[in-house]
Amino acid sequence: MDQLAALRALRRVVELGSFTAAAEALGLSHTAVSRQIKQLEAHLGAQLLNRTTRRFALTDAGKQYYEASRQILDALDDADRAVTAQQARPSGTLRINAPMAFGTLELAAWLSAFMAQYPELTVDLVCNDRIVDLIEDSFDVALRLTRGLPDSTLIARRLADSPLLLAASPAYLKQHGAPRTPAELARHNCLVYTQAQHPRIWTFRSPGGGEESVNVQGNLQANTSVALRAAALAGLGIISAASFIVHEDVQRGALTALLPDYPQRPRELYARYPQSRHQSPKVRAFIDFATAHYRGRGWA
């Protein structure tokens, strides 16, 4: 008896729910699969399956043996994949989800370098500011800017800190004045990013090391920072945004940075991907490239 083949047959029968489906998946006949299970039972001296004409069920001994054998088979598959994956070149289509502003202003700046390194890979980049279900929407990896992650079965790799900048246009400041403390933001028109965890609560670190939170108000809220940046440039109000979104506007004088002595706690950039014992080469390559890109790097 080939015990390993019998273990694989048992697993297929249990997972697929029938001898016929297991036989088809293994490329064997129904009789061959049935014979392997019977030989395994004879070898163990225990019945693993209770059979009827229409269905089967694992016996208590079968349940115990199935769980133990499944772990053994997983370990063997992991060992095979680990060796094979080291030799495999990333290929196929890599589906990436990213926030609109990050995808268009930041990720786009280095994605071409990643693709040049892996020419056999095709990238499908989808940018939006809603939280997607990676598995249901068939994404391989998502990039997230957040403060803390919810409990999830997804794997999360922290890549970098993303500082926030508070800014407004010179025209707005000329008309309304510049806030000198966070508390003064309460009387200003603040542009609110609705995808933040607490959109209207802006929190600052004071020079003394404490924190100060302000409940802000404004006449524009949006689920994309791209729209808020355009509004800030047009003089509508004050924006709190990731520095990669507005730092070039600040450098060229289109926006003025505010409250430099009261920094906001940065968001964190994460790469998230479905949990799997067999991480595909394309996902691993992207995560490794992003990690190397942001290692020790801050944003302006």
Instruction: Give the pLDDT band of residue 69 (cuts 50, 70, 90).
Output: confident
Average pLDDT across the chain, whole number? 88
Cross-strand partners of 56: 51
Q: What is the CATH number of the domain that holds 7?
A: 1.10.10.10
37, 53, 87 — which closes off a domain? 87
The strand ranges marked E within the chain are 49-51, 56-58, 92-98, 121-127, 141-146, 155-162, 164-168, 190-193, 201-205, 211-215, 221-222, 238-242, 256-257, 267-273
Share of the chain above pLDDT 70, in %: 93
Within this chain, do residues 130 and 222 fall inside the same structural domain, yes or no?
Answer: no
The most confident of the ranges 13-27, 72-86, 142-156 is 13-27
Same domain, 72 and 158: no
pLDDT value at position 129?
A: 80
Contacts of 174 (CB under 8 A, 6+ apart): none
Residue 130 in domain? yes
Model pLDDT for residues 208-252, shown as the tens digit of each residue: 888 999 999 999 999 889 999 999 999 999 999 999 999 999 999
Judge whether 178 and 184 are in contact, CB under 8 Å. Answer: no
**Tokens matching residue 94:** 């890599």
* 201 and 127 in a common domain: no
Whether 38 is in a domain gets the answer: yes
Q: Which of 87, 122, 154 is the last residue of a domain?
A: 87
Write down the pTM of the prediction.
0.64
Examine the domain organization and report whether 261 and 273 are in the same domain. Answer: no
Angle between helices 243-251 and 225-233 (to 10 degrees): 20
String of b and e for 107-133 (b: at least 16 CB within 10 Å)?
Answer: beeebeebeeebeebebeeebebeeee
Q: Find the CATH number of the domain harbouring 228.
A: 3.40.190.10
- Mean pLDDT of all residues in 107-126: 94
More confident residue, 152 or 211: 211
How confident is the model over 15-27, as a mean pLDDT?
86
Rounded distance, CA 96 to CA 155, Å? 15
- Which pLDDT band holds residue 85 (cuts at 50, 70, 90)? low
pLDDT of residue 186: 95
Alpha carbon distance 103, 128 (integer Å): 8
Strand 238-242 versus strand 201-205 pairing type: unpaired
The span from the CA of 9 to the CA of 228, in Å, is 58
Q: pLDDT tens digits for 3-14?
A: 888 888 888 888
Across the range 204-208, mean pLDDT stands at 90
**pLDDT score for 300:** 45
* Same domain membership, residue 54 and residue 193: no
Which residue, 87, 112, 133, sits at the end of a domain?
A: 87
Same domain for 116 and 234: no
Q: How many domains does the chain have?
A: 3
- Domain presence at residue 272: yes
**pLDDT level of residue 277 (50, 70, 90 thresholds):** very low
Mean pLDDT, range 87-96, rounded to an integer: 84
Q: What is the mean pLDDT of residues 84-106?
A: 84
In a domain, 155, yes or no: yes
pLDDT confidence bin for 289, thresholds 50/70/90: very high
Q: Is residue 299 part of a domain?
A: no
Query: Is there a single domain that holds both residue 130 and residue 43?
Result: no
Span 55-78, average pLDDT: 85
Which residues does residue 229 pair with via DSSP β-bridges, in sequence order? none
Contact 125, 107 (CB under 8 A): yes
Whether residue 16 is contained in a domain is answered as yes
> What's the Cα-to-Cα distance from 34 to each of 41, 52, 57, 113, 209, rounded to whole Å?
11, 13, 14, 53, 71
The pLDDT tens digits for 246-274 are 999 999 999 999 999 999 988 889 999 88
Domain that holds residue 175: 164-265
300 lies in a domain?
A: no
How many helices and strands (H and E) does the chain possess?
10, 14
108/143 same-domain check: yes
